[in-house]
Amino acid sequence: MTVIRTEPLTAAAFAPFGDVLDASGTPDKIINQGLCGRYHDRARMDFGPDGRVGISIFQAEARALPYTLDLVERHPDGSQAFVPMTADAFLVIVAEDQDGTPANIRAFLTAPGQGINLLRNTWHGVLTPLAAPGLFAVIDRIGSTPNLQEYPLRQPRTVIAG
Amino acid sequence: MTVIRTEPLTAAAFAPFGDVLDASGTPDKIINQGLCGRYHDRARMDFGPDGRVGISIFQAEARALPYTLDLVERHPDGSQAFVPMTADAFLVIVAEDQDGTPANIRAFLTAPGQGINLLRNTWHGVLTPLAAPGLFAVIDRIGSTPNLQEYPLRQPRTVIAG
């Protein structure tokens, strides 16, 4: 089975797929009498002409490495952000698109304190926390379309720690 | 000094001020082949005609109880959600409005796994984590107006554990 090694999640490596949501670098603004740093407007969100933004809570079962990946999916109508509500790392699987097909699948391992925003129509694996309770705030498109394309992998991959 | 005792954060008690973002009750939808529950569209967001939504990261210094409250503020142009990126409780201070002035100030203590969304123009205290690193994703309005009204309290309050 083809093996994918995890990479650390960095803004530069992840940029083609989306945004890393964390407090790295210098805050854009200091507020609340010096007691709070604001890292401003870090997600490239896009919900299309007929959608609106919503906040939902996802609770997903914890997975472990090695992890068998047999499906990726994408949301053609909107971006989707995942904010972990615990300090645990999670697995972020993404892929490029080649003529409507996922290609060059990559797996990123977050550091505590990192969330992500997936650009609209980016191939990705389902939510894969690596620790219970697997609790996330998800900021994505609310709309009436199915907004989901699934792609089962004929050849599953094994994701292992990099 | 007037004392305010903290209350547990519940959706019913908090409803006049905003929404509790958590995984309580039954998921609205089960996704990802049964491995994830979606608690759907839990925030009453409102960014006005000239604003858009953004995700920012706040890192705030941890406070402790008893906490001295000497200022509340509100955002006239948009709602504001706070999603903790750790499993730590934080303090949520809100107030009613009476003719443009905050009244009946209340303090809620979150449980781990709870975030909040403040309705547009709701009086509230600044972000007050009770543990380091005080890391939150903030989903609020991005726009060109100041969108901030501060109200220093002539008579500060002391918030104590309820």
The answer to pTM > 0.80 is yes
Q: Which amino acid is at A147?
A: N
Residue B132 pLDDT level (bands cut at 50, 70, 90):
very high
A11 touches chain B (CB under 8 A): no
Write the pLDDT tens digit of every residue in A30-87: 999 999 999 999 999 999 989 999 999 999 999 999 999 999 999 999 999 999 999 9
- Going from the C-alpha of A158 to that of each of A80, A91, A117, A124, the distances in angstroms are 25, 13, 24, 15
CA distance B14 to B19: 7
Angstrom distance (rounded) from CA A57 to CA B67: 30
Whether pLDDT at A29 is above 90 = yes
Cβ within 8 Å, pair B126-A57: no
Please answer yes or no on whether B56 and A41 come within 8 Å at the CB atom. Answer: yes
The enclosing domain of A135 has a CATH number of: 2.60.120.480
Residues B38-89: pLDDT tens digits?
Answer: 999 999 999 998 999 999 999 999 999 999 999 999 999 999 999 999 999 9
Domain hosting A74: range is 2-160
A91–B contact, CB cutoff 8 A: no
In this complex, do A115 and B37 lie within 8 Å of one another by their Cβ atoms? no
Per the DSSP assignment, residues forming a β-bridge with B58 are A38, B136
Give the pLDDT band of residue B28 (cuts 50, 70, 90). Answer: very high
Instruction: Give chain A's largest Cα–Cα span.
Output: 56
Could you give the percent of chain A with pLDDT greater than 70?
A: 99
Q: What percent of chain B has pLDDT over 90?
A: 99
Average pLDDT over residues B92-115: 98
CB atoms within 10 A of CB B99: 5
Output the pLDDT for position B147: 97
Q: What pLDDT does residue B90 have? A: 98
Of B85, B133, B139, the CB nearest to A55: B139
| DSSP secondary structure letter of residue A13 | H
In this prediction, residue A7 carries a pLDDT of 98
Q: Which of B47, B57, B91, B93 to mutate to test the interface with A (most CBs of A within 10 A)?
A: B57
User: Quick one: pLDDT at residue A158?
Assistant: 98
Cα Dmax for chain B:
56
| pLDDT the model gives residue A123 | 98
Please state, for a pLDDT cut of 90, what percent of chain A lies above it. Answer: 99
Total of domains in chain B: 1
Contact A55 B126 (CB under 8 A): no
